[in-house]
Structure 1
Amino acid sequence: MLDTLHSAQLTPDLLRSFIIAADTKSFTRTANLVHRTQAAVSMQMKKLEDELKCVLFQREGRGVSLTAEGEILYRYSSKILELHDEALSAVSGPKLNGIVRLGAPDDYAMKHLPGILKEFAVNHPQVQIDVFCDDTRTLAAMLDKGQLDLVIATDNAKTEFSAPLELSWILPERMEPAELDVLPLALFHPFCCYRENALKALDKAGRKYRIAYGSPSLAGLLAAVQGGLAIAVVTKETTAKGCRHARPSDNLPAIEHVYIDLRFQPGLRSEVVSVFGGFIARGLGIVI
């Protein structure tokens, strides 16, 4: 134990990657946020495990979760980095401050923002981020009225700052849609491009359907799917207990992809909004 304590190197760079991996539960997402390859992040975490002589992550399909030892290290890592950043701030002072008002649909906020906000806070601790969650149409209107500084949105059209987002059917594990005459659907409310593209695909394929459930939130839709009551359209990365993505044998039509985009308030952007927008863009895989 003494040798381990003397030889292990808990550098800030290593601990930041560890914390982001724990928060995002994904080495791929971590790689995007720390600007490394997935292989490099995996090597970092393996090095950390080797130096501490314990397993920190459990691999679960495409994701990871912390072991008991990982949970302990997470608590100490947060304290170590907090003191590290406090010391740097005390010496050099914060370079950026202000308030940024961000709009994002709730599913994007839950999926993408934890790691992004963590990394941004580490680099710019004096900036206040106010997050507003709603549907894209409402957020776009708030942006136009000057109530938000930037918005994460989805659209069928490619915009200046956007990246393609693949869609997929998600259904109860034991449901066999090929055997159903009429498909029960759980869809986002009207004006959603997920909904629009899903219905277009079904109409083109001649599949009968009924809209059984509607919700403005992903959680609301997945509740209907997890209850074995309906089929929904989600991103290919979305998973939920008791649900599965469509297989070829399900005979469900392919859904045209949409775009995830970053929209700024028209006009000159402040430095703090521009910098934060850069963090958001990198986290979403958008080039700006």
Structure 2
Amino acid sequence: MRTILDLELLNTFVAVVETESFTAAAPYVGRSQSAVSMQMQRLEQSLGKQLLVRTPKAVVPNASGNQLLEYARRLLALSDEASATITRQSELARVRLGVPDDYAASLLPQILRRFANEHPRVVIELVCEPSERLNRAIRDNRIDLAVVTRAADQSIEVLRRERLVWVSSPTHAAWYSDPLPVALFETGTARAHVLRALADSGRAYHCTYSSASLSGLVTVVRSGLSVAGLALCSVPDSLRVIQDVEGLPQLDDLEIGILQNPICDLRAVDRLRDSLRRDLSN
């Protein structure tokens, strides 16, 4: 008798593998943790194979599970493509995604590449601006989704914490200068964290450069003219991270979350949001 794979079960299976947890997968598939567990039991029973191994720290696929994973992703992508074609939605869906440029190069490439493979009929229009401007762009209906650094008074779901570190040129020791020369972003949480840390420590400083651009900040720091505070994920190889022993004040972590335009109800937007939530959390 031929076994017909259930796409709903496959979708849950992929979510479990990618989040490494029944509990973490539950919100992505709109079910409870117990329902996710029951779905995986049904999938394993239908195939007559164990697919997942429960370890103390995670749920991971075994050899059979890894084999099924590739087929599951392909089948789900084909299902999306077939649905779009049959319902005459032949045009490409477009999603306007905003992200600060210091996250765009470090956090997004792998996420967007995976999303493009899973949803080939969705075109993402990327808007790179500081978080403060992206907040306004969401309110003004200029973008659909935004990855932002949470401001002090902002109520959003935090998906990821990123270390904020001091950086300098690898060939200069600008942090020995007094007052401390600092390059700052024009606005935003990273700037606020740096200024608060300096004020709390009593360290004298002067601002040598202010920019909304990561590339501009990197150029100034690389020249040896100043230090700066950057998210660890966005520190390029051309700069060095200043260690705590060098005496600069400790910086608070950055909290990263997602904003969604409340009046946008495109299915493609929901799918990209779910992918960002899954991958940024991991």
Quickly name the TM-score band, shorter chain normalised. 0.5 to 0.7
Q: Give the equivalent residue in structure 2 for 1:263.
A: 259
- Aligned partner of residue 146 in structure 1, secondary structure: coil
Q: Give the equivalent residue in structure 1 for 2:149.
A: 154
Instruction: Write out aligned runs for 1:10-49 (5 A).
Output: 35=18
Deviation readout 1:250-279 (Å, 9 max, x if unpaired): 100001122111000124633211111011
Deviation readout 1:173-207 (Å, 9 max, x if unpaired): 243356321111111003x1101110110111010
Q: TM-score, normalised by structure 1?
A: 0.65
Give the share of equivalent positions with the same residue, in percent. Answer: 30
Native 8 Å contact 1:94 1:124 kept in 2: no
Determine whether 1:117 maps to 2:109.
Answer: no
- Aligned partner of residue 35 in structure 1, secondary structure: helix
Determine whether 1:143 maps to 2:138.
Answer: yes
Determine whether 1:217 maps to 2:217.
Answer: no
Runs of 4+ in structure 1 off by over 6 angstroms are none
User: What amino acid maps onto 1:125 in structure 2?
Assistant: P
User: What amino acid maps onto 1:261 in structure 2?
Assistant: G
Deviation readout 1:203-252 (Å, 9 max, x if unpaired): 11010111001111111111111111110101123333442112133100
Structure whose CA Rg is larger? 2
Instruction: Write out aligned runs for 1:91-110 (5 A).
Output: 92=82, 94=84, 98-110=93-105
CA distance in structure 2 between the aligned counterparts of 1:167 and 1:105, rounded to whole angstroms: 15
Q: Give the equivalent residue in structure 1 for 2:31.
A: none
Native 8 Å contact 1:177 1:251 kept in 2: no
Quote the offset at 1:89 in angstroms.
7.8
User: Where does the alignment leave 5 or more consecutive residues of structure 2 unmatched?
Assistant: 1-14, 21-57, 64-73
Native 8 Å contact 2:175 2:227 kept in 1: no
- Aligned partner of residue 111 in structure 1, secondary structure: helix
Determine whether 1:238 maps to 2:234.
Answer: yes
- Aligned partner of residue 237 in structure 1, secondary structure: helix
Native 8 Å contact 2:107 2:233 kept in 1: no
Quote the offset at 1:40 in angstroms.
11
Query: How many equivalent pairs are there?
Result: 215
Determine whether 1:132 maps to 2:127.
Answer: yes
Quote the offset at 1:94 in angstroms.
4.8
User: What amino acid maps onto 1:35 in structure 2?
Assistant: E
Q: Give the equivalent residue in structure 2 for 1:281.
A: 277
Determine whether 1:226 maps to 2:233.
Answer: no
CA distance in structure 2 between the aligned counterparts of 1:213 and 1:133, rounded to whole angstroms: 20
Native 8 Å contact 2:182 2:228 kept in 1: yes
Native 8 Å contact 1:186 1:211 kept in 2: yes
Name which of 172, 176, 181 aligns with 1:175.
172
Q: Give the equivalent residue in structure 2 for 1:185.
A: 182
Q: Give the equivalent residue in structure 2 for 1:71.
A: none
CA distance in structure 2 between the aligned counterparts of 1:110 and 1:129, rounded to whole angstroms: 15
Quote the offset at 1:90 in angstroms.
11
Q: 1:242 to 1:124 in 2, by over 3 A?
A: closer
Worse overlay, 98-107 or 171-180: 171-180
- Aligned partner of residue 224 in structure 1, secondary structure: helix
User: What amino acid maps onto 2:224 in structure 1?
Assistant: G
Native 8 Å contact 1:159 1:261 kept in 2: no
CA distance in structure 1 between the aligned counterparts of 2:136 and 2:121, rounded to whole angstroms: 28
Native 8 Å contact 2:220 2:226 kept in 1: yes
Native 8 Å contact 1:177 1:250 kept in 2: no
Native 8 Å contact 1:100 1:129 kept in 2: yes
